[in-house]
């Protein structure tokens, strides 16, 4: 028999350990094959995407909600208190059901206030919310 631990004096007993060297060799060869083949396969894929014509002039209806660092709220340019906001949101979104609420905030605004606004928007039944951001300056 080739290598291994033989328990007792009986040579017909099976080996007590498994030789994993061939398995590791096969796995390493497969790994090298996939490393070489993956970039080739990625370049070889050509997909014919469907061609459609869609109207590009559709403009989204946006309702702006801005919170300032001092806690002031503006809904489409008009200032409101937090207590008035749910009713005003319901009125706005009843008039414009397809609108998106764009939530903007001062960089100094605590996250707690933003979370409160999100909760108020959710309780008002608003489904579509976007966050206003500014591009990074390099």
For residue range 75-110, list pLDDT tens digits in order: 888 888 888 888 888 888 888 888 888 888 888 888
- Give the pLDDT mean for 38-61: 71
Backbone dihedral region of 68: left (phi > 0), alpha (psi from -120 to 50 degrees) or beta?
beta
Token duo for residue 53: 């014509």
Q: Sorting pLDDT into bands at 50, 70 and 90, what band is 32?
A: very high
Does the pLDDT value for residue 3 go beyond 60? no
The answer to whether 96 and 60 have CB atoms below 8 angstroms apart is: no
Contacts of 100 (CB under 8 A, 6+ apart): 60, 61, 62, 63, 128, 129, 130
Determine the topology of domain 62-131 in CATH: Nucleotidyltransferase; domain 5 (3.30.420)
Q: What is the pLDDT of residue 1?
A: 47
């Amino acid at each position: 028999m080739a290598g291994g631990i033989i328990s007792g004096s009986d040579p017909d007993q099976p080996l007590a350990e498994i030789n994993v060297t061939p398995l590791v060799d096969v796995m390493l060869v497969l790994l090298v094959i996939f490393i070489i083949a993956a970039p080739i396969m990625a370049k070889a894929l050509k997909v014919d995407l469907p061609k459609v014509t869609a109207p590009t002039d559709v403009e989204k209806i946006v309702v702006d909600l801005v919170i300032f660092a001092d806690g002031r709220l503006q809904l489409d340019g008009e200032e409101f208190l937090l207590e008035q906001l749910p009713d005003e949101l319901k009125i706005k979104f009843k008039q414009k059901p397809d609108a998106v609420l764009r939530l903007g905030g001062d960089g100094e605004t605590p996250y707690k206030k933003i979370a409160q606004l999100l909760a108020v928007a959710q309780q008002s039944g608003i489904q579509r919310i976007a966050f206003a951001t500014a591009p990074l300056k390099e």
